[in-house]
Amino acid sequence: MKGAGPPREGVATIFRIWGIPVRVHVSWLVIFGLIAWSLSVGYFPERLPDLPLLAHWASGLLAALLLFVSVLLHELSHSVVARRCGIPVSGITLHVFGGVSQLEREPERPGVEIAVAVVGPLTSFAIAAVVALAYALLGPPEAPAAIMRYLVLVNVLVGAFNLVPGFPLDGGRLLRALLWKVKGDLAWASRMASLAGSVFAFLLIGAGVFRALSGEFLGGLWFVLIGLFLRQAAEGSYQQLLLQRVLGRLSVRDAMTSEVIHVPTDLSVAHLVEEFFWAHHVSSFPVLDGGRVVGIISLRQLKEVPRERWAETPVRDLMLPLAGPLMATPGDSLWEAFEKLSRNGLGRLAVVEDGRLVGYLSMKDVIHLIAVST
């Protein structure tokens, strides 16, 4: 899946592949444990009845780990193709419902959308084929054979599930790309794919309720949870597209605050708190040095220094140095600025022109402009 995912909180980066951060959401630990447990007490005891309990648990843990390696490869294929098509990728996140490749922008042409979407399911099918071939050629012992059969099955299921033509699944993105190519209207194509995704989500929820009432409570509950997640993701992805179309027509200049309170680099943290944070009730300020903006200081940075050292610590020692994620120019697309606001952890951007501070942009400014423009 691409573009939709869990909340950003509770996420840790565990490693990088080809420069792409791979993150794990805390919910992944829950599903990993549940899958390992269910395989260890149900799946492998049925298929390996002559092996001891320890072998069942070892097989369950290894199979669960290899499942998520397969999911990671599925998402990595999306990310690699997206980057080759010129789309920046901010990372891959594994979570309770699988994984998500976080593309920084949507494909600009139907052909690119098709290429990025289809490679995920193809990767899952390829993994299944490679494991099946290895199984046939090697004739492995009993326990490895059971693990390999499981991996073939789940990768086929992952590939097939992702081809369901409902947004934001890969199949939904393929549907959107085809409709977009035929009619030439991305918004309409997105709406149709989103509706298809919602229909599939409701069918999944209905199937889950039926399973739960039939006595399969855990399986039914899982169907319901996945359905609710897909329903929210389908609607959220469409709303994000609408927001992108609105903000893409506006510039930072349209939303920024021009009269900006700023602080000098040599101001002590004690004076910063007393004369600025307490007086103005805002969470951050641009920092200037000789008339040029050099960084941003926020309440979050104050936690890095004990209160007894505030009087002797200058702002320059704590400020976040000005860089791309913290700045924009007046002519930048408001959508691009909105994405920076969403990702930089501050919700603020210094608006700079020729090194001079000409404005300050907050998420509140963007929301206010949307409210008065719609």
pLDDT in tens, 93-116: 888 777 888 887 788 899 999 999
3-class SS at 359? strand
Answer yes or no: do 218 and 287 share one domain: no
CB count, 10 Å around CB of 260?
17
- The whole-number pLDDT of residue 233 equals 83
Answer yes or no: do 224 and 354 share one domain: no
3-class SS at 328? strand
Based on the structure, what is the number of domains in the chain? Answer: 3
15 domain residue, yes or no: yes
Q: Containing domain of residue 278, as a range? A: 252-373
CATH number at residue 288: 3.10.580.10
Answer yes or no: do 185 and 56 share one domain: no
Answer yes or no: do 304 and 192 share one domain: no
Answer yes or no: do 4 and 132 share one domain: yes
Last-in-domain residue among 112, 137, 163: 163
Last-in-domain residue among 229, 248, 267: 248
Strand order in the sheet with 98-103: 11-17, 20-25, 89-95, 98-103
Whether residue 61 contacts residue 44, with contact meaning beta carbons closer than 8 Å, is answered with: no
Residue 12: pLDDT over 80 = no
Please give the structure tokens belonging to residue 298.
């926020």
168 domain residue, yes or no: no
Task: Catalytic residue, from 9, 46, 75, 312: name it.
Answer: 75
Whether residue 237 contacts residue 170, with contact meaning beta carbons closer than 8 Å, is answered with: no
For all residues of the chain together, what is the average pLDDT?
87
Range list of H helices, the chain: 26-38, 44-47, 53-84, 110-138, 142-162, 170-183, 186-213, 217-248, 252-255, 269-272, 278-280, 299-302, 334-343, 363-373
Answer yes or no: do 6 and 145 share one domain: yes
Residue 218: pLDDT over 60 = yes
Residue 7: pLDDT over 50 = no
d(CA 168, CA 236) in angstroms, rounded, equals 9
Residue 78: pLDDT over 90 = yes
d(CA 115, CA 113) in angstroms, rounded, equals 6
Answer yes or no: do 5 and 129 share one domain: yes
Angle, in degrees to the nearest 10, between helices 110-138 and 142-162 = 160
pLDDT in tens, 316-370: 888 888 888 888 999 999 988 998 888 888 888 999 988 889 999 988 889 888 8
Whether residue 302 contacts residue 317, with contact meaning beta carbons closer than 8 Å, is answered with: no
212 domain residue, yes or no: yes
Confidence category of residue 210, pLDDT binned at 50, 70, 90: very high
Question: Which is more confident, 5 or 123?
Answer: 123
244 domain residue, yes or no: yes
The pTM score is: 0.74
Please give the torsion angle defined by the CA atoms of residues 326, 327, 333 and 339, in that order, rounded to the nearest 10 degrees: 0
Answer yes or no: do 286 and 327 share one domain: yes
244 phi, psi to nearest 5 deg: -65, -40
Residue 75 annotated in active site: yes
Answer yes or no: do 135 and 27 share one domain: yes
Nearest one of 359, 334, 335, 344 to 256, comparing CA atoms: 359
- The whole-number pLDDT of residue 4 equals 46
Cα 294 to the center of its chain, rounded Å:
30
169 domain residue, yes or no: no
201 domain residue, yes or no: yes
Lowest-confidence range among 2-6, 38-42, 179-183, 354-358? 2-6
- The whole-number pLDDT of residue 124 equals 96
- The whole-number pLDDT of residue 236 equals 82
Answer yes or no: do 154 and 39 share one domain: yes
- The whole-number pLDDT of residue 122 equals 96
d(CA 363, CA 202) in angstroms, rounded, equals 33
191 domain residue, yes or no: yes
Answer yes or no: do 18 and 94 share one domain: yes
Answer yes or no: do 282 and 341 share one domain: yes
Please give the torsion angle defined by the CA atoms of residues 150, 153, 157 and 158, in that order, rounded to the nearest 10 degrees: 50
